Amino acid sequence: MDSEAWRETYAALNERPCPFEQAILSGSAGCTQAQHLCIGERQGVQCASDQARVPCLDLLKSLKEQSRFALKALDPQEALPHNQALRVQIGGLRGLRTILNPQISETAPILDISALLGSALDRFGSFAALPSPLILRAIARYHPRRSRRFE
């Protein structure tokens, strides 16, 4: 299946794409609301609920806006390359978890994104109230593994 056909099929089948799909597919995060789907030999993740998806969309939008300078991606309309998107998703979630649970190792997998975001909203009231410098540091520190395929 070529890329264009896959994108069209994916868009038709995935009604609620998970905002943290790349983090989940990388194995660095999980979510109780995530539903995996396979199209050909590729995978995707959709959210089980519109209600659960809203906080994820809000947080990811905020993380992207705040981290553009650190990632040297100044155009807000431009989509982030895969590695930078992973840095924002995984680094942002790790930073958020460190704020909420400093005793957990920063490199430990995030078990439930939905629960993590719910805890953050319970504690801070909104994502705008989060201590963003701590989250931005976690984004800057996180670097995806390099592919060994070409070495």
Rounded to the nearest 5 percent, the helix, strand and coil shares of the chain are 50, 10, 40
pLDDT, mean of residues 27-49: 91
Give the residue ranges of DSSP H helices in the chain.
3-13, 21-25, 50-67, 82-86, 92-100, 113-124, 132-141
Nearest to 110 by CA among 98, 126, 120: 98
> Which stretch of 41-55, 76-90, 122-136 has the lowest confidence by average pLDDT?
76-90
pLDDT of residue 12 exceeding 70, the answer is yes
pLDDT for 75: 67
Average pLDDT over the chain reads 88
* Angstrom distance (rounded) from CA 90 to CA 97: 10
pLDDT, mean of residues 15-33: 95
- CB-based burial of residue 109 (10 Å sphere; 0-12 exposed, 13-18 middle, 19+ buried)? middle
Q: What percent of the chain has pLDDT over 70?
A: 91
pLDDT, mean of residues 26-48: 91
The per-residue pLDDT for range 131-145, each reduced to its tens digit, is 999 999 999 999 887
pTM of the model: 0.89
pLDDT of residue 59 exceeding 80, the answer is yes
pLDDT for 69: 76
